[in-house]
Chain A
Amino acid sequence: MTDLATEGALASPARAIEAAQSVWSLRWRRFRHHRAGIASLAILALLVLFCLSAYPLERYLNLDSNATDLLSRYDPPSATHWLGTDEGGRDELLRLMYGGQISLLVGLLATVIGGGIGVSLGLVAGYFGGRLDSFLMRLTDGVIALPLLPLLIVLAALDLTKLGFSSEFAHSGAAGFWRIVVIIALVDWTAIARLVRAATLSVKERDYILAARASGAGALYVMATHVLPNIVTPIIVALTLTVGRVILFESVLSFLGFGIVPPTPSWGNMLNNAQELVTTAPALAIYPGLLIFITVIAVNFLGDGMQHAFDPRSERR
């Protein structure tokens, strides 16, 4: 506990006298007072639980979420199909749960990969500066200037065999999944890169970094152990907001038919036949979009709450 106590003391001497606290427990305390943030955290936990209960529920109801039954298309809700059935006679609730797993997973994975690209480029640009910095920042500006959705559609439509992948792989479900993850990550790293660069610039001339460099630490070591831990809070906030954006990108691509390919469900591709749903089964046109909406709004409020918790100066806003 001693090292936690000193860390807390550095962050806020007055508080440390009351009780030994780490900087993270202080942040958690501040976060708890952000009602929207706490509510969002609870909602997201429930959503994850909802999506993960797909398999147990499928067992319990003794259904197969992929089995089509054209005799029971658009059935109303019943004891076996709690939310009714879709255009293929499949259970809507189970499809929503499995679809959520895919949508959330794409959101997390693309954020991790895109965040990785953004953090690396931002660190390198900010730390080394000079020509490398101006080149990387021009590149970032260029990507920001692109019309993202049309570009994503082109990238999603590319023929993987022309890029040298085997035709077997190109048409597999795994390729469909990873393609979406990778192309979204490839376009959505610019905000993080800019943020990390600016934060790196602001800490790299600090005394502790000069001390580390004077004692012979290599650039990679300094970036990993001295720069990164000191700029981690804005990165976490930005990554959280990225998750929301990525989920929106995935859903619209899948909706337009360029994303996750049916029969694998995702919240976006469950609305593929929306024009038909509007007249035949309006409720089915609402559910998937409503889940996307709730998820993304909760993610955005969570990011907002963390921003308040991490940066006390923004509290009075």
Chain B
Amino acid sequence: MLAFTLRRMGQTLVVLLVMSFIIYGLIGLMPGDPIDIMAASMPGVTPEVVAKLRAIYGLDQPLMLRYWRWLMAALQGDLGFSRTHSQPVLEVLTPALWQTCKLMISSFVLSVIAALILGVVSALRPGGFVDSFVSLFAFAGISVPVFWLALVLILTFAVALHWLPASGMTNVGDGGVMDQVRHLTLPVLTLMLANTGQFTRYVRAAMIETLRMDFVRTAWAKGAGAWRVVIVHALRNALIPVVTIMALSFGTLFSGALVTETMFAQQGMGKMIYDSILSNDFNLALSGLLFATLITLLSNLAADLAYGWLDPRIALK
């Protein structure tokens, strides 16, 4: 188990390193050039000065060398300076990361709970009325464009009913816990609805499979109550693949979080990446993308380790 853990952690580091190089290269291919942008804000700047600036910032060096310098600085905690925020990248990144974690974790937990209930109930009678209804709901969740779902929720709960705020993170002059919760409700609901569909399908499939197994029949035969059979015997075993696949999808929540944050004007990682790419803030975009990749990689790592831990047969392979 220890060897397995170490090997998977090593693999994660390698993938992160490769990705950092690819993202670094891609950012260099984006329109505009940091020095040109700088020069544009300085009236009367001569081409010689521009060339000198380029040399000072090392932008006349080959890609590999620039990447190496950036990597060495990043490893020491220096991710550069954000042009649009006029702050070190790390100081912009930290609150955004915290905001995104609140959104992602709360909608993830709620989706998992909803999916467990819906999945188990529909697996009890596959093809029945409840199952058909849940399946329709699950398919709808998989098929809905997240930004449109957000729009519909805004139209319903903010514009028509005035129950909840449509955007922002706090009201001016308030900012208490309840105010924050009210502003987070619609974003969390959006992301939760969009994810529950896929999760429900996982739970349902795993439960149907498990309910057919011999040990479940044994449990029925020895006279265990329905609740005990379904929850204690079947669900516990069905959870092994389900936990893994849900942990794997935690990273994919990030794509949804980007859309949700943009729609509801939440200053999280997703909106930060989106804004930084729109405004040519290269350092911020680079670090934001790397952190997004890191979130995905870490959730995959957690999924693999959880699988090995929950099902000892796996780790032996």
Residues of chain A having any CB pair with chain B under 8 Å: 142, 145-151, 153-155, 157-159, 162-163, 244, 248, 251-252, 255-257, 268, 271, 274, 278-279, 282, 285-286, 288-290, 292-293, 296-297, 299-301, 304, 317
Contact of B15 among A145, A150, A288 (CB under 8 A): A145
Residue in B closest to A316 when the chains form the complex, CB atoms: B126
* Chain B residues bordering chain A, tally (CB within 8 A): 51
| Bound-state Cα–Cα, A74 to B31, Å | 35
Contact of B277 among A157, A255, A296 (CB under 8 A): A157
Q: B26 → chain A, closest Cβ, in Å?
A: 5
Chain A residues positioned under 8 Å from B26 (CB to CB):
154-155, 158
Q: Does the CB pair A252–B155 fall under 8 Å?
A: no
Residue in B closest to A250 when the chains form the complex, CB atoms: B145
Interface string of B275-300 (1 = CB under 8 A from A): 00110000001001100110111001
Q: Does the CB pair A163–B159 fall under 8 Å?
A: no
Residue in B closest to A156 when the chains form the complex, CB atoms: B277
In the A-B complex, the 3 residue pairs with the smallest Cβ-Cβ separation, listed nearest first, are A289-B148, A149-B255, A297-B143
| Bound-state Cα–Cα, A46 to B142, Å | 22
Residue in B closest to A241 when the chains form the complex, CB atoms: B142
Q: Does the CB pair A151–B126 fall under 8 Å?
A: no
| Bound-state Cα–Cα, A151 to B297, Å | 14
Q: Does the CB pair B148–A293 fall under 8 Å?
A: yes
Q: Does the CB pair B144–A150 fall under 8 Å?
A: no
Is B120 an interface residue, CB under 8 A from the partner?
A: no
Q: Does the CB pair A274–B296 fall under 8 Å?
A: no
Secondary structure class of chain A's binding surface, majority of residues = helix
Chain A residues positioned under 8 Å from B273 (CB to CB):
150, 153
Is B64 an interface residue, CB under 8 A from the partner?
A: no
Q: B236 → chain A, closest Cβ, in Å?
A: 22
| Bound-state Cα–Cα, A158 to B23, Å | 12
Q: A81 → chain B, closest Cβ, in Å?
A: 22
Q: Does the CB pair B31–A147 fall under 8 Å?
A: no
Q: A158-B30, A297-B140, A300-B143 are in contact. Are A146 and B19 (CB under 8 A)?
A: yes
Chain B residues positioned under 8 Å from A256 (CB to CB):
147, 259, 262, 274
Most chain B CB neighbours (cut-off 10 Å) among A142, A150, A157, A317 = A150
| Bound-state Cα–Cα, A278 to B142, Å | 24
Is B191 an interface residue, CB under 8 A from the partner?
A: no
Q: Does the CB pair A145–B300 fall under 8 Å?
A: yes
Q: Does the CB pair B139–A149 fall under 8 Å?
A: no
Q: Does the CB pair A244–B143 fall under 8 Å?
A: yes
User: Besides A288-B148, A289-B147, 9 other CB < 8 A contacts?
Assistant: A147-B254, A149-B255, A155-B26, A157-B30, A159-B29, A256-B147, A271-B148, A278-B155, A300-B142
Interface string of B1-38 (1 = CB under 8 A from A): 00000000000000100110001001111111000000
Q: Does the CB pair A292–B295 fall under 8 Å?
A: no
Q: A280 → chain B, closest Cβ, in Å?
A: 11
Q: Does the CB pair A289–B262 fall under 8 Å?
A: no
| Bound-state Cα–Cα, A158 to B254, Å | 21
| Bound-state Cα–Cα, A279 to B151, Å | 11
Q: Does the CB pair B145–A147 fall under 8 Å?
A: no
Chain A residues positioned under 8 Å from B296 (CB to CB):
145-147
Q: Does the CB pair A142–B126 fall under 8 Å?
A: no
Chain B residues positioned under 8 Å from A274 (CB to CB):
147, 151, 263
Q: A148-B252, A154-B26, A154-B285 are in contact. Are A279 and B19 (CB under 8 A)?
A: no
Residue in B closest to A257 when the chains form the complex, CB atoms: B278
Chain A residues positioned under 8 Å from B292 (CB to CB):
147, 150
Residue in A closest to B258 when the chains form the complex, CB atoms: A149
| Bound-state Cα–Cα, A222 to B276, Å | 50
Q: A254 → chain B, closest Cβ, in Å?
A: 10
Q: A259 → chain B, closest Cβ, in Å?
A: 12
Is B270 an interface residue, CB under 8 A from the partner?
A: yes
Chain A residues positioned under 8 Å from B28 (CB to CB):
162
Is B208 an interface residue, CB under 8 A from the partner?
A: yes
Q: Does the CB pair B148–A147 fall under 8 Å?
A: no
Q: A104 → chain B, closest Cβ, in Å?
A: 15
Q: A150-B292, A154-B285 are in contact. Are A251 and B145 (CB under 8 A)?
A: yes
Q: A142-B18, A150-B273, A154-B277 are in contact. Are A289 and B139 (CB under 8 A)?
A: no
Chain A residues positioned under 8 Å from B297 (CB to CB):
145
Contact of A159 among B30, B147, B159 (CB under 8 A): B30
Chain A residues positioned under 8 Å from B258 (CB to CB):
149-150, 153
Chain B residues positioned under 8 Å from A317 (CB to CB):
126, 205, 208
Interface string of B130-172 (1 = CB under 8 A from A): 0000000001101111111001101100010000001000000
| Bound-state Cα–Cα, A244 to B197, Å | 15
Chain B residues positioned under 8 Å from A297 (CB to CB):
139-140, 143-144
Contact of B145 among A150, A157, A158, A252 (CB under 8 A): A252
Q: B261 → chain A, closest Cβ, in Å?
A: 11
Q: B10 → chain A, closest Cβ, in Å?
A: 13
Residue in A closest to B209 when the chains form the complex, CB atoms: A317
Chain A residues positioned under 8 Å from B140 (CB to CB):
293, 297
Q: Does the CB pair A154–B145 fall under 8 Å?
A: no
| Bound-state Cα–Cα, A211 to B238, Å | 42
Q: A183 → chain B, closest Cβ, in Å?
A: 11
Chain B residues positioned under 8 Å from A157 (CB to CB):
30-31, 277
| Bound-state Cα–Cα, A57 to B83, Å | 50
Q: Does the CB pair A289–B254 fall under 8 Å?
A: no
Is B268 an interface residue, CB under 8 A from the partner?
A: no
Q: A278-B155, A286-B152 are in contact. Are A150 and B29 (CB under 8 A)?
A: no
| Bound-state Cα–Cα, A257 to B270, Å | 15
